[in-house]
Amino acid sequence: MKRIIILIIVLSSICVTSCKKFLDTKPTDFVVPEQYYNNEQQLNEALAGVYSSLAETGTYGLSLSFNDVIGNDEGFYKNTSSAPFAGIYNIVVSDAGINNTWNALYEGINLANNLLANINKPVMDGNKRNVIKGETLFLRAFMYFQLVTMWGDVPMLLEPTVDSRKVNNPATPSKDIYDQILKDMKEAKDIVNDYNTNGTPIHVSKTAIEGILARVCLKMAGEPLKDVTKYIEARAWADSVIQSHVHSLNPDYKQIFINECADLFDANKEVLWEIDFYGNNMGGKAIGGRWAKVMAVRNVNKDMYAEGFLGATPFLYKLYGAGDLRRDWVIAPYSIYKSNGTIKVIIPPTDIYSRVCGKWPREYESVRPLSTVYSPTNYPIIRYSDVLLMYAEADNEINGPTPQAYEAINSIRRRAYGLPTTTPVDSVTVVSQIVLSATGNTGYLKTVNTIPVTISGGGGTGATAEASVSPATGKVTAVGVVDPGYGYTSVPTIIIGNAWQTHTSYLAGTQVFYGSKLYTVTTSGTSTDIPPTQNSGASDANITGAAFTYVGLAATAMASIATSNVDISNLSPSAFRDTIKSERARELCFEGLRKFDLIRWGIFIPRMKEMETDLNATMPASLKYVTKGYTSVSEKYNLFPIPLKELSLNSALQQNRLWQ
């Protein structure tokens, strides 16, 4: 680690606003321990410094949200670069990115150690002191949880150091580190505020700590410790969150992530804890994260720039049942026309590989102008749906599937299909796909984003769709289902664009069609008679002031419907376990958990090799470069290598076995 002689990072980059942010004041000078921790304000500033450690590029600013956690069965690094990168499993022990993560976590731990060592220094209210102490204990434990998860045995430092690199610190056995993590988190849980007192998920609360304790215990029950007794404790911690009745599922899945983009918090309190990013790093508006612009749908427009580096696997896409609203939110069904930067183009349902992560769309960000590098979008660490799934997983390992375990997962599945979370439902029949009937359509305006689609009949309700036009050809290229609706008993009728209607007002520029002919309104007016005369040439007709020009052929499309099971029941423990594994992917994909889930389940390498086979068989030749990560991954990647720089400065530390 770098020499650490200060307690507080310059916090002017945090840009505090109201009660949402960590602080109400910002220190402007660097100080040494003897000059600090003299009052309550300085303790809170020091706590903000510990929190900010988790927003660094080496932590959730980029590495723990993207670099170090992608490359699994839900997503891949969609970049042609062959430079060493954790997500494609070609790093070496001198890798700078891994070194940055290691350093950032230990620097945060040292900030926490300094604060804990001086926690009793000022005269202040004892309850407020305990809250600061509890949050700091938890944050230190959480950072050690990241270290032990990614590296295994690492040095455990519980006292502040001026320069830890000058001290030979041997690795502490993982089991001892986990014991310390549990001890600190349990102590912290009893002295921090509850969620309602905090008011937001920015500071950790009692229920947030209980949720993370469930996660820690599930990890201890799996690889490599295999302490199956921890399933009981994991279930108890998850159940404590449930029984608190503080948190619930947001009825609208996509709204969770819109809120994180827009810096909002919902009344359901689904997010128990998230990393707070703020501003665009322009002027005084900081501290932004880099992860969102890396993961969002590629857009070269400087006002909405994103790189689209997180591709979705066919495995993930196919996990979703017809009508699961999560699929087309988390796996964007559109691309953005590169020459314009604002026009969305629907991706045909058969073209899975053109899709990328769409979970956090940049258009919802609250700070303008948008930066081409930094984003204010907050990153979720733990959500209530994760708590429900952890409860169901642990309960199944103890008892097999129980009514409580079924209800935990079924409530999530009902929300996924747009249904009330507490009302049991066996299945739902939806509009599953809309396919163009012919490709000869032409004449659509090239400047439109999407054009409306009317869905009628079929006995169902609620389905909506939109069609996109190629800015290059003026043809409809694909039709996407926005909302699949429910209750369909037969195939509905699809009409693309505005069908001709008499006694209807039209504005200039509106496109309508009649039969197979496409017309553009050239003069605003109201139609009161028959449609424009159809002929094979360009013509127009004046109908009570409205002029229509024939411009080409209208697109036609055909829908299909499908039935999906919603509530699950009557599964064996093994089948329920597999269902949990799949549901965690559907619900929590791209939130930094999947790789470590696969590792704790002991299936990481086998699953990666399955992905390699699948991608090689189905991926277009132009994208085959992404398979290199699945080819190069091996058992040693269950852990990262100890950074070479750290080994050179700490002679008591040894490299992880398979990296020697």
The domains found in the chain, sorted by start residue, are: 1-192 (1.25.40.390), 430-561 (no CATH)
Please check the confidence at residue 19 and state whether its pLDDT lies above 60: no
Q: What is the pLDDT of residue 561?
A: 97
Burial class (CB in 10 A: 0-12, 13-18, 19+), 412: buried
79-89, pLDDT tens digit by residue? 988 899 999 99
470-497 average pLDDT score: 92
Distance CA(329)–CA(361), nearest Å, equals: 9
**Angle formed at CA 248 by CA 381 and CA 574, multiple of 5 degrees:** 75
pLDDT value of position 17: 33
User: Is-cis flag, bond preceding 224, omega within 30?
Assistant: yes
Which has the higher per-residue pLDDT, 499 or 147? 147
Residues in CB range of 113: below 8 A, 6 or more apart: 140, 157, 158, 159, 160, 161
Reading the block at residue 162, the tokens are 């001026």
pLDDT of the residue at 273: 98
User: pLDDT band for position 510 (50/70/90)?
Assistant: confident
C-alpha distance from residue 577 to each of 400, 411, 572, 583, 648 (Å): 9, 17, 8, 10, 44
Which residues have a Cβ under 8 Å from the Cβ of 623 and sit 6 or more positions away?
A: 78, 311, 353
Cis-peptide, bond into residue 173, ω within 30° of zero: no
**Cα(25)–Cα(20) distance, rounded to whole angstroms?**
13
Separation CA 372–CA 422 (nearest Å): 42
pLDDT average, residue stretch 536-562: 75
524 pLDDT band, cuts 50/70/90, is: confident
**Statement: residue 181 has pLDDT above 60:** yes
More confident position, 510 or 225: 225
pLDDT above 90 for 591: yes
Tens of pLDDT, residue by residue over 117-156, are 999 999 999 999 999 999 999 999 999 999 999 999 999 9
Whether the per-residue pLDDT at 26 is higher than 80: the answer is no
* pLDDT at position 29: 42
Percentage of residues of the chain with pLDDT beyond 70: 90
pLDDT of residue 118: 96
Q: How many residues does the chain have?
A: 660
- Between 626 and 502, the more confident residue is 626
Residues 443 and 538: beta-carbon distance below 8 Å: no
Distance CA 394, CA 237 (A): 10
Phi, psi of 478, deg, nearest 5: -165, 160
Q: Residue 513: enclosing H or E segment and its boundaries?
A: strand 511-514
As a whole-number percent, the residues of the chain with pLDDT over 90 amount to: 72
Residues in CB range of 457: below 8 A, 6 or more apart: 490, 492, 493
Least confident of 158-167, 611-620, 630-639: 158-167
Report pLDDT for 164.
47
**Is residue 645 scored above 70 in pLDDT?**
yes
pLDDT score of 329: 97
User: What would the mean pLDDT of 29-51 be, rounded to a whole number?
Assistant: 83
Contact 534, 517 (CB under 8 A): yes
- Under the banding of pLDDT at 50, 70 and 90, the label for residue 357 is very high
| Per-residue confidence (pLDDT) for residue 163, from 0 to 100 | 62
Tell me whether residue 408 is exposed, middle or buried, using C-beta atoms within 10 angstroms of its C-beta: 0 to 12, 13 to 18, 19 or more.
buried
Among 202-211, 316-325, 375-384, 434-443, the least confident range:
434-443
Q: What is the pLDDT of residue 530?
A: 57
Q: How far apart are CA 180 and CA 167, in angstroms?
A: 21
| Segment 418-462, tens digit of pLDDT | 999 999 999 999 999 999 987 789 999 888 888 889 999 999 999
User: What pLDDT shows up at residue 388?
Assistant: 98
Model confidence over 395-419: pLDDT tens digits? 999 999 999 999 999 999 999 999 9
Is the CB of residue 69 less than 8 Å from the CB of residue 295?
A: no
pLDDT mean across residues, the chain: 89
Confidence of residue 535 (pLDDT cuts 50, 70, 90): very low
**Residue 537 predicted with pLDDT over 50:** no
Does 358 score more than 50 pLDDT?
yes
Token pair, residue 235, equals 């279930």
Q: Which has more confidence, 119 or 165?
A: 119
Which is more confident, 448 or 631?
631
Strand 493-496 and strand 498-499: pairing? unpaired
Confidence of residue 541 (pLDDT cuts 50, 70, 90): low
Does residue 508 have a pLDDT over 80? yes
Quote the CA–CA distance of 467 and 477 in Å, as a whole number: 7
CA 576 centroid distance within chain:
25
Could you tell me how many helices (H) and strands (E) the chain has, helices first? 18, 19
DSSP structural state of residue 333: S
pLDDT band at residue 55 under the 50/70/90 scheme: very high
Q: Where are the alpha helices (DSSP H) in 17-88?
A: 40-52
